[in-house]
Amino acid sequence: MTDTLRTRIFADGADLKGILDLASDSRISGFTTNPTLMRQAGITNYAEFAHELLGYITDQPISFEVFADEPDEIRRQALLIASWADNVYVKIPVTTTKGESLASLAGELSLSGVKVNVTAMFTIAQVEEVTRVVADGAPCYLSIFAGRIADAGVDPVPLMREAIEIMSAAPRAECIWASPREVLNLIQADSVGCHIITMTHDLLKKLGNIGKDLTTYSLETVQMFFHDAAAAGYKL
């Protein structure tokens, strides 16, 4: 069923083997990473990992994030990361750790030809600000953390729909539904016309359940409970 959806899937992770296994998966159109995922994967040399990965991922877009907090150092890191390969997008946080907007810097980089991925976006105000500054720039992504928005008890669907309408003013910008929590989010992203969704490697394993008969799924679940209880040797 995924081949009937317009929303493209980017695999989100930093496990080298996992990424390479997914590189030949026709359902995957690109890749994203971040420092948290890289740390969890045990990566200690950022540039070495990125260059090794880029030796294999040569055509699909892949995002690497800066890890500075001061604009001048963010700019330096962004230009360096962008120089690594043509398919690289540079993740720029929407603000510093003090909450100061980095939209103007993202716009400056975009206008200079850097493909930015403005990340950790949560609000319509942020979407409006970033859309204005990248409207005439290089191709870019706006990563809106719909999953975390939902974690706050807010329905992300209306927000994502509004964000995509706003972004029409920047024709080279694409909207990413970031931090999804379930496969349903892919269907929701597609329903509002979101260009891309990022999915972790674990979540990607569940794509085969799309369209599954619910009666069959119910039976399989009952069988799982029964067999696990038997395997555990439970007695009453």
Q: Are 145 and 120 in contact (CB under 8 A)?
A: yes
Token output for 113: 């030809």
Whether this prediction's pTM lies above 0.85 is answered by: yes
CA–CA gap between residue 13 and residue 48 (Å, rounded): 16
Supply the angle between the helices 156-167 and 184-191 in degrees, to the nearest 10.
40
Question: How many Cβ atoms sit within 10 Å of the Cβ of residue 98?
Answer: 6
Q: How confident is the model at residue 3 (pLDDT cuts 50, 70, 90)?
A: confident
**Is 2 a residue whose pLDDT tops 90?**
no
Is there a catalytic annotation at residue 17? no
Q: Are 116 and 140 in contact (CB under 8 A)?
A: yes
What are 68-87's pLDDT values in tens digits? Answer: 999 999 999 999 999 999 99
Confidence band, pLDDT 50/70/90 cuts, at residue 4:
confident
Per-residue pLDDT reduced to its tens digit, 157-200: 999 999 999 999 999 999 999 999 999 999 999 999 999 999 99
Distance CA 175, CA 45 (A): 30
Euclidean distance between CA atoms 91 and 100, whole angstroms? 16
**What is the mean predicted confidence (pLDDT) over 102-118?**
98
Domain ranges of the chain: 2-210
Catalytic residue among 91, 205, 212, 235, which? Answer: 91
Tokens of 210: 């799309």
- % of the chain with per-residue pLDDT over 70: 99
* Mean pLDDT, all residues of the chain: 97
Classified as helix, coil or strand, 133 is helix
Which CATH number is associated with domain 2-210?
Answer: 3.20.20.70
